[in-house]
Amino acid sequence: MKSIFLKAQFVLAISTIFVLSSCSDQNEPSPNVIPPEVILSTSTHSTTLWNTVKLTVTSTSDKGIDKVELKIDGVAVGVSTTSPYEFSWDTRNATDGLHTATVTVTDKSGDEKITEFKLTVQNTLLETKIDAGMLRKKPDWGYDERGFIFLSDEQGKVIIAQEFKNGDVISVKVPSFEGAEFTINEVIATPWNAAYTLTTITSTTHVGRGKWILKKSTPGSSSGSANVSFINRDANLDYLLHTNYLTSYFLNGTTASALNLLTSPSLLYVTSKPKDGSGMTKYHIFSSIVAGANPNALDLALVNKDLTQETISLPEGRTKGSLNIYGLHTANNTSQIYDIGARYSDDTKGKLTFQYPAEGFTGFFAMMRLTGPEYSSYNASNSKKPYDLVPLEGTLNASLAGRKATVSATGAMDLINLNLSHNHLNWTIFAEKSATTIVVPEIPAILNDVVNLNVDITDAGLTITGEDFPQIQDYKSYLDFVRASTQGYNDLGANYEGFKQLYKDIDN
């Protein structure tokens, strides 16, 4: 793959005409009839600058150049009388943001030409705000998570590492680092119990200086719980209640309390099935369930519609499948999403049988997993159809030697990721599809008590995944998406928009 510090060559050039300081009595044009050119180039090969940079002015005139003066925001940087006209500017004395460079070229006849250029200073490598609920803490949870962030260079060497807490504002400057891009590594350590801590690392390659949003999940907050009573309960049937909080409840007796609602009012999707396992599952959707007491009892005799059963053949190259279906109250509105509970798999016949309510929901969010001898795929769809059977097509390969993975990917995917799992560690590294090499970063010493530094990553389980999302077109647009997001990578799937993944497990 390209070095993550490879800088695109860029020269900013602006052509203007000299402003003459004098003219002849006959108002004849200046004998300088060749429009001169002024070019300002930077040692970063970009208009974005950091640390101490060299600014070079190139200018020509048929009269010859006497001197070149450079000012930044009106403050003199220097005067040069010898080509190439070079200046050194320590940007660490300037604030991050937009600045104006003014170049004044004076020729041998005293004519001046003034040209302005816009330059951006970005000495801060990383700016991010840690959400107040980023890390799970007691007493809401049974444990206290810890969070870390570290930056790595193209060889995987640590640039800087630090621990963070909920609500922290992080601004990282490392004057000794001269690169334009680096890898961001986000670390969450979750101590499930005294004997087991799961450390999750999310690494993103080719990240440029500036703002970044860490990957996080924001759990939905309940708008309250509903208390509901029922009539005409059949003692021979088992009833299951589903709310838009993505929670299901077994009905015991004729009343149900503390049914969590994501929004109020909510639908209540109810299914029934004979206790002896015979017969088809039936359903009914009750409307306008509200938080608090619901005075009107719901009639379970209405739970009498048959679910629609469908059997489909799996695509070529896929031998197993599973499907989860969720109902949408309003098309494309995922603020109310209901677990239909349709989870089916077929391990032998290359077919998939499932059930769903044909009426009552305006659309479905479906998650289909298809597996085969070489590739597996995952389809998330949001449409009127309760499944998407077309897998993401392409090829994927990876091999790991030491801390360097050789990778390849083809197909209609926006990005790839490499996942390593080993004991207490789950590590995902995102890269552009065209990448040929992914370096696994070194783990900083600050994580000594969190991650076993002696872990041999060559023993890790290895999976390579290609991903296709409707919100992005390529890896660059993915990076831009994250910078503008609220939950980082997780925002790509947060609104239950459709996306596809193709993945391959590698014998490492």
- Alpha-carbon 9 to chain mean position: 27
DSSP class of residue 275 equals: T
For the cut 60, the answer to whether the pLDDT of residue 68 exceeds it is yes
d(CA 453, CA 446): 11
Residue 507: the pLDDT is: 83
DSSP class of residue 28 equals: P
Residue 30: the pLDDT is: 47
Residues in the chain: 508
Q: Which of 192, 193, 186, 200 lies closest to 425 in space, CA to CA?
A: 200
**pLDDT tens per residue across span 130-150:** 999 999 999 888 899 999 999
Residue 249: the pLDDT is: 93
- Alpha-carbon 81 to chain mean position: 50
Question: Residues 242, 226: contact at Cβ < 8 Å?
Answer: no
Residue 39: the pLDDT is: 87
Average pLDDT for 490-507:
86
Structure tokens at 491: 């925002």
**Least confident window among 15-29, 98-112, 420-434, 447-461:** 15-29
Average pLDDT for 360-380:
92
Residue 1: the pLDDT is: 37
Q: Which of 463, 473, 468 lies closest to 438 in space, CA to CA?
A: 463
**pLDDT tens per residue across span 451-497:** 765 566 777 899 999 999 999 999 999 999 999 999 999 888 766 67
The residues facing 371 across adjacent strands are 320, 376
**pLDDT tens per residue across span 373-388:** 999 999 999 888 899 9
Pairs from 369-374 (Cβ < 8 Å, separation ≥ 24):
369/321, 369/322, 369/323, 370/314, 370/315, 370/318, 370/320, 370/321, 371/318, 371/319, 371/320, 371/321, 372/317, 372/318, 372/319, 372/320, 373/317, 373/319, 374/317, 374/504
pTM (2 decimals)? Answer: 0.85
Peptide bond into 139 cis (omega under 30): yes
Question: Residues 320, 345: contact at Cβ < 8 Å?
Answer: yes
Question: Residues 493, 483: contact at Cβ < 8 Å?
Answer: no
pLDDT band at 22 (very low <50, low <70, confident <90, very high): very low
For the cut 50, the answer to whether the pLDDT of residue 40 exceeds it is yes
* Residue corresponding to tokens 């926006």: 414
The residue among 10 and 375 whose pLDDT is bigger is 375
d(CA 248, CA 172): 45
Based on its alpha-carbon atoms, the radius of gyration of the chain, rounded to whole angstroms, reads 31
For the cut 90, the answer to whether the pLDDT of residue 423 exceeds it is no
* Residue corresponding to tokens 């403050």: 75
Average pLDDT for 78-103:
95
d(CA 155, CA 442): 9
Cα end-to-end span (Å), the chain:
21
Question: Residues 134, 216: contact at Cβ < 8 Å?
Answer: yes
Peptide bond into 29 cis (omega under 30): no
Residue 422: the pLDDT is: 85
* Residue corresponding to tokens 């990282």: 172
**pLDDT tens per residue across span 305-323:** 999 988 888 888 888 889 9
For the cut 60, the answer to whether the pLDDT of residue 29 exceeds it is no
For the cut 50, the answer to whether the pLDDT of residue 4 exceeds it is no
Percent helix, percent strand, percent coil in the chain, to nearest 5: 5, 50, 45
Please state, rounded to an integer, the average pLDDT across all residues of the chain: 87
Query: What percentage of residues in the chain have a pLDDT greater than 70?
Result: 88
Half-sphere exposure of 153 (CA within 13 A, CB side): 10
Structure tokens at 297: 């009892």
Contacts with 220 (C-beta within 8 Å, 6 or more apart), sequence order? 245, 246, 262
d(CA 120, CA 311): 59
Q: What is the CB neighbour count within 10 angstroms for residue 83? A: 13
Question: Residues 424, 452: contact at Cβ < 8 Å?
Answer: yes
Average pLDDT for 228-249:
93
pLDDT band at 251 (very low <50, low <70, confident <90, very high): very high
**pLDDT tens per residue across span 425-452:** 899 999 999 999 999 999 999 998 887 6
For the cut 90, the answer to whether the pLDDT of residue 213 exceeds it is yes
Q: Which of 375, 252, 243 lies closest to 316 in space, CA to CA?
A: 375
For the cut 60, the answer to whether the pLDDT of residue 2 exceeds it is no
What is the H or E stretch that residue 405 is in?
strand 404-411
Structure tokens at 195: 């004997």
**pLDDT tens per residue across span 257-300:** 889 998 889 899 999 999 998 888 999 999 989 999 999 999 99
The residue among 14 and 433 whose pLDDT is bigger is 433
Question: Residues 147, 132: contact at Cβ < 8 Å?
Answer: no
Query: What percentage of residues in the chain have a pLDDT greater than 90?
Result: 62
Q: Which of 412, 400, 428 lies closest to 466 in space, CA to CA?
A: 412
The residue among 478 and 13 whose pLDDT is bigger is 478
Residue 347: the pLDDT is: 60
Question: Residues 70, 57: contact at Cβ < 8 Å?
Answer: yes
